[in-house]
């Protein structure tokens, strides 16, 4: 299977995964109206872990990590970034949130130079510069359009980049199901801790989406229950499609098409909510996506988003 070379099928798998992610993430704003972020992560992760354990058992694959401490550290980084990402989805336009997450390849280049002494060519330096121009256009750091909340998705992207580097440098040889199981297990723990803390030490919770991050246990029903189920199953389907794409074509080729998530998320937002980004935001997102493409093409081992694979 690893030696297959079917680029057309790989593109279909990658684009289908990005289209699915863009669709299901758009509905998080509805879950945020009455649901809680920590309950969401707890129950979604329970579903994902249960499915992963069944799949691993049926396939006869061990999910025990070879280097538990390194896998745990990698899982903590990616889980923190995803907590921030999903929290922002309930409060901000999805195009802005996805653009923030997709700054990860830019930060991978920067952190690779700062922490690992890697050399970077002129094209990737140009890509980083273009990416940061895109960030500035998306978050609009001016007196009229800027808020501290605008920076938070970019922080998620930076932390996700550290998780990607941890995958590359710490988790070589670990299985995909091992990394996925550890990630969702960590998310389950985060959800349980968040629910417990907010239950023991309740705070005043604003109405609507503003209370998404501050709610403790919320009994799953209605749209909130639906989103837990959709995200639990849909994320695994999307991850599976993404993994399959990387099995069918070169990693640098597939990574280019992952940048289409920015496009799909924006298109779904326009269709579902009539949420059209302004011209500057569109230009900024195009810069970020283009920077990701350049970095993917120029990297020997490009890092993926939402479905990070081991070396």
Domain boundaries of the chain, sorted by first residue: 7-298
**What does the alpha-carbon distance between residue 42 and residue 10 come to, in Å, rounded to a whole number?**
32
The arithmetic mean of pLDDT across residues 57-71, rounded, is 91
Q: Is the pLDDT of residue 1 over 80?
A: no
Q: In this predicted structure, which of 73-77, 80-84, 113-117, 189-193 has the lowest mean pLDDT?
A: 113-117
Model confidence at 308: pLDDT above 80:
no
Owner of token pair 């801790």: 193
pLDDT at 8 over 70: yes
> Structure pTM?
0.85
Task: Yes or no: say if 304 and 242 are a contact pair by the CB < 8 Å rule.
Answer: yes
Q: Is residue 295 within 8 Å of 106, Cβ to Cβ?
A: yes
Alpha carbon distance, N-terminus to C-terminus of the chain: 16
- pLDDT confidence of residue 79: 93
């Amino acid at each position: 299977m690893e030696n297959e070379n079917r680029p057309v099928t790989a593109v279909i798998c990658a684009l289908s995964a990005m289209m699915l992610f863009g669709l299901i993430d758009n509905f998080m704003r509805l879950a945020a109206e009455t649901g809680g972020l920590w309950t969401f992560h707890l129950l979604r992760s329970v579903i994902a872990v249960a499915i992963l354990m069944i799949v691993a058992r049926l396939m006869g694959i061990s999910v025990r990590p070879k280097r538990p401490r390194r896998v745990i550290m990698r899982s903590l980084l990616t889980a923190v970034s995803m907590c921030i990402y999903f929290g922002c989805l309930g409060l901000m336009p999805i195009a802005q949130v996805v653009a923030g997450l997709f700054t990860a390849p830019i930060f991978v280049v920067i952190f690779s130079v700062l922490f690992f002494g890697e050399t970077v060519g002129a094209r990737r330096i140009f890509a980083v510069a273009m990416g940061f121009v895109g960030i500035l256009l998306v978050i609009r750091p001016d007196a009229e359009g800027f808020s501290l909340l605008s920076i938070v998705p970019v922080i998620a992207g930076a932390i996700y980049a550290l998780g990607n580097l941890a995958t590359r440098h710490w988790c070589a040889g670990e299985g995909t199901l091992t990394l996925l199981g550890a990630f969702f297990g960590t998310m389950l723990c985060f959800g349980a801790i968040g629910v417990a803390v907010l239950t023991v030490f309740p705070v005043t919770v604003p109405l609507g989406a503003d209370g998404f991050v501050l709610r403790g246990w919320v009994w799953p029903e209605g749209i909130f229950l639906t989103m837990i189920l959709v995200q639990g199953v849909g994320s695994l389907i999307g991850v599976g499609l993404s993994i399959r794409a990387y099995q069918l074509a070169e990693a640098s080729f597939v990574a280019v098409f992952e940048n289409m998530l920015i496009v799909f998320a924006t298109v779904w937002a326009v269709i579902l909510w009539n949420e059209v980004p302004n011209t500057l935001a569109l230009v900024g997102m195009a810069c970020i996506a283009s920077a990701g493409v350049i970095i993917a093409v120029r990297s020997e081992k490009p890092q993926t988003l939402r479905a990070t694979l081991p070396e």
